[in-house]
Amino acid sequence: RTSADSRGAVDDRVQAPMAPVEDEARGQTFSEVAEIIITTKVRERLWSPDRAREVRASVNLFVGANGDIPFARIEQLHLFACVDLMSRLPKKYNHFMVQGQGGFAAALASVEPHPLESEADKAVRLGNIGVHSATRNKHLTWLKAVVDGAAAAGFTKHSLDFKSLRPVRILKNFNRG
């Protein structure tokens, strides 16, 4: 590509920006693109192996809620589905994610009501449902890092609103006067 300055001189050194490769043409799913970003961040020493493990857990939540959809087709509704899944999981669901322990289906089944459940048992069960807000925010942060990292790497740029998915914080000792 060439450009002309105000005098009409042509500058052949100006390069057109590299167009992003169409994700669907590459056939890459959300988890595949996420793994590329995670691997790159670890290789560049921007993320530790522990951080990579946390990001992979967030990617697993997204995939658990939506299936492993093509990266190019991610929409806000997929984030809503991920948040919905986090609100239905038991507060402590990690042990279900170990190989052979049933995954999300087993975790969700563990908090289903029982036919002869007493009111006291119901209260305990309901108190154990829903990922803590700080954990939810952490997962949303890592999903945003994957989406933003993918856009920077040339994958589809998404306009997703992560901020609206974060729970509203209640201020303790709020003085109204």
What's the gap between Cα 20 and its chain centre? 21
User: Is the pLDDT higher at 77 or at 14?
Assistant: 77
Q: Cα 18–68–109 angle (5° rounding)?
A: 155
The helix-helix angle for 30-43 and 49-66 (nearest 10°) equals: 170
DSSP type of residue 100: T
Phi, psi angle pair for 90, to nearest 5°: -65, 150
Residue type at 105? A
pLDDT in tens, 3-42: 444 444 444 443 333 334 454 446 799 999 999 999 999 9
The per-residue pLDDT for 107 is: 83
pLDDT in tens, 81-120: 999 999 988 888 777 776 667 788 888 888 888 888 899 9
The yes-or-no verdict on residue 74 having pLDDT over 90 is yes
Q: Within a 10 A sphere around the Cβ of 34, how many other Cβ atoms?
A: 27
The per-residue pLDDT for 99 is: 61
The per-residue pLDDT for 17 is: 34
The per-residue pLDDT for 42 is: 96
Is residue 90 within a helix (H) or strand (E), and if so which, with residue range? none
Closest CA to 66 of 176, 168, 160: 160
pLDDT in tens, 116-170: 889 998 888 888 888 888 889 999 999 999 999 999 999 999 999 998 888 765 5
The per-residue pLDDT for 140 is: 95
Q: Which residues pair with 70 in a beta bridge?
A: 29
The per-residue pLDDT for 170 is: 52
DSSP type of residue 95: G
